[in-house]
Chain A
Amino acid sequence: AQRVTQPEKLLSVFKGAPVELKCNYSYSGSPELFWYVQYSRQRLQLLLRHISRESIKGFTADLNKGETSFHLKKPFAQEEDSAMYYCALTETSGSRLTFGEGTQLTVNP
């Protein structure tokens, strides 16, 4: 069964500091992973997906199959990055999507 774990429910950093939101998954096949973000009073939206290997708003995430992780990183956090972040997984056939519980990131001035 697919499972996504985000061990930190809350994460607080200062502006300009590096930030890393952890995501671990369990899945025996070949996964595709995503990060979704929900800013205050806005709807849930896709931030990035590993297959695109892109950087969005300064965030990157690398799929580490050995450690079964897909941590989200940004070298210098900004106050506008404060939001709820969800890691999600699907298999490459796209037959199911599983979300983690989310991490609330707060970037303090």
Chain B
Amino acid sequence: ETGVTQTPRHLVMGMTNKKSLKCEQHLGHNAMYWYKQSAKKPLELMFVYNFKEQTENNSVPSRFSPECPNSSHLFLHLHTLQPEDSALYLCASSQERDFTDTQYFGPGTRLTVL
């Protein structure tokens, strides 16, 4: 598959569970991003990675833990989440870590925390 892929597409988890979201980009980009999209709120940038190095953590709680083993893969590890963390989590990539570059988005993972 081309572009940016995300798995799983839907996830339901309890507050004590540990789960991971996966993102993969097939575009040869150097920068990858995690966004959170909650109902009735703007898209919120969570993390930015450039050449596998985290360059931005937008005051995200430690129960969200990102991992970027290489420029093509990005994970978001989740543990002891709260119901208010239920949202659509979007992964994106761009050629460079420069927000003037076009962002290419994945389809998202719809997360529900019970």
Q: A interface vs B, CB < 8 Å?
A: 4, 32, 36, 43-46, 49, 51, 86, 90, 92, 94-102
Q: A92, B106: Cβ atoms under 8 Å? A: no
- A-B contacts, 16 of them at CB < 8 A, read A43-B4, A43-B105, A43-B108, A51-B100, A86-B42, A86-B43, A90-B100, A92-B100, A96-B45, A97-B45, A97-B99, A97-B103, A98-B42, A99-B42, A100-B42, A102-B42
B43 in contact with A43 (CB, 8 Å): no
Query: A93–B102 Cα gap in the complex (Å)?
Result: 14
Contacts of B42 on A, CB cut-off 8 Å? 4, 86, 98-102
Question: Which residues of chain B are within 8 angstroms of A44 by Cβ–Cβ distance?
Answer: 90, 105
CB contacts (< 8 Å) of A99 on chain B: these are: 42-43
Contact between B102 and A46 (Cβ–Cβ < 8 Å)?
yes
Chain B residues positioned under 8 Å from A4 (CB to CB): 42
Q: How far is the CB of B5 from chain A (nearest CB, A)?
A: 10
Q: Which of B90, B100, B106 has the most chain A CB atoms inside 10 A of its CB?
A: B100
- Bound together, the chains give a CA A42 to CA B90 distance in angstroms of 13
Q: A43-B107, A44-B90 are in contact. Are A94 and B101 (CB under 8 A)?
A: yes
Flag if B99 contacts A96 (CB, 8 Å).
yes
Interface of B, helix, strand, loop or mixed by DSSP: loop
CA distance A95 to B104 in the complex (A): 17
* Separation of A43 and B5 alpha carbons in the complex (Å): 10
With beta carbons under 8 angstroms apart, the residue of A43, A94, A98, A101 that contacts B100 is A94
Could you tell me the distance between the alpha carbons of A8 and B107 in the complex, rounded to whole angstroms? Answer: 25
Distance in angstroms from A72 CB to nearest chain B CB is: 17
Q: Across the two chains, which residue of chain B brings its CB closest to A51?
A: B100
Within 8 A of A (CB), among B33-52: 40-43, 45
Report Cα–Cα, A101/B40, bound state, in Å: 7
Is the CB of B1 closer than 8 A to any CB of chain A? no
Task: For B43, give the chain A residue with the smallest CB separation.
Answer: A99
Q: How far is the CB of B86 from chain A (nearest CB, A)?
A: 18
Residues from chain B with a CB closer than 8 A to the CB of A32 are 100
Nearest first, the 6 closest Cβ-Cβ pairs linking A and B are: A94-B98, A90-B99, A97-B99, A94-B100, A99-B43, A44-B105
